[in-house]
Structure 1
């Protein structure tokens, strides 16, 4: 076994130290194609950081993450829709604000008790509010874009204290 390892080492060393006698040819490397800044993308309405996302969020009101009334919020592409189940304190009152900015319409469904609330929203950047009294422990919110609708949907839940 030791003899086999010694022979393998000798063969490996001999292969590494031998020169073919030919000068090494330079390897072809592709010319660099990078630029100093990435190519700019046009403002796409389906990107969360786009102007439409900011417009949809701004329409909801002034309740921010730092406010004690703030519960939860989100921003989604219209084509993905909003599909959330929010955990609330059963029996409390809340306000859900939803805004769509872009084009087309969105169908909003809020699964409140005793029956769901359904509304159609235009994607014109204005907010629609749903008052939730005697909230369930889990509130399902769905917003589906209608055919050919594009843009962003923002939503926010805040506690009303009443």
Structure 2
């Protein structure tokens, strides 16, 4: 019986040694493969430059500033009560604004896009108006007379367009 126990023990050690040798071989191969990177650049592809989040953020901030300046919303002076509302969005998000107005009054809507490409502007007051706007930082203005209770403004970027879009609504005083 002691012999049988010894054989079992020896057989178990043989498997353990074989497993250890196999594990060592696998780890050595992994170490060689993992550490054999091309340090001199031979055969390695040049990495493509990527846009960092901070670079993208800086570009977006610059475009936002252009839009704010074009619309005059950077420092709104509402001492005469004409300013109603404004906003900024990325072209990829679009504008989907539902603005509460006073029925029968007159307003101006200004929309500007800064960036690349074009956007499609759709304004629904009493009747829908649609037009394409260049992303050239030049405001497009629309006069709304005899306004409804709600002005619907939707702006969607056309394919390949990027940048920032903004809108501003002001009440026109003394105009029916």
- Scaled by the length of structure 2, the TM-score of the pair is 0.64
Give the length in aligned residue pairs.
121
More helix by share: 2
The alignment yields a C-alpha RMSD, in angstroms, of: 2.0
Contiguous gaps of at least 5 residues in structure 2? 1-51
* Alignment match, 1:107: 120
**Which secondary structure state, in structure 1, belongs to the residue aligned with residue 139 of structure 2?**
strand
Match of 1:11 in 2: none
What's the CA shift for 1:45?
7.2
**How far apart in 2 are the matches of 1:60 and 1:102?**
15
The structure 1 segments of at least 4 consecutive aligned residues displaced by more than 2 Å after TM superposition are 43-47
| Structure number, greater radius of gyration | 2
Q: Does 1:51 align with 2:62?
A: yes
Alignment match, 2:153: 141
Whether 2:68 is the aligned partner of 1:66: answer: no
Query: 2:143 — aligned with what?
Result: 131
How much does 1:44 deviate?
3.8
For the pair 1:91 / 2:109, whether they are aligned, the reply is no
Q: CA deviation at 1:66?
A: 2.7
Alpha-carbon distance change, 57 to 88 in structure 1, aligned in 2, over 3 angstroms = same
Paired with 1:46 and 1:88, the residues of 2 have a C-alpha distance of: 34
3-state SS in 2 of match to 1:42: helix
Q: Is the 8 A contact 1:45 1:102 kept in 2?
A: no
Q: Deviations for 1:81-124, whole angstroms, at most 9, x for unmatched residues?
A: 000100000000000000000000000000021x2111110001
Unaligned runs of 5+ in 1: 1-38
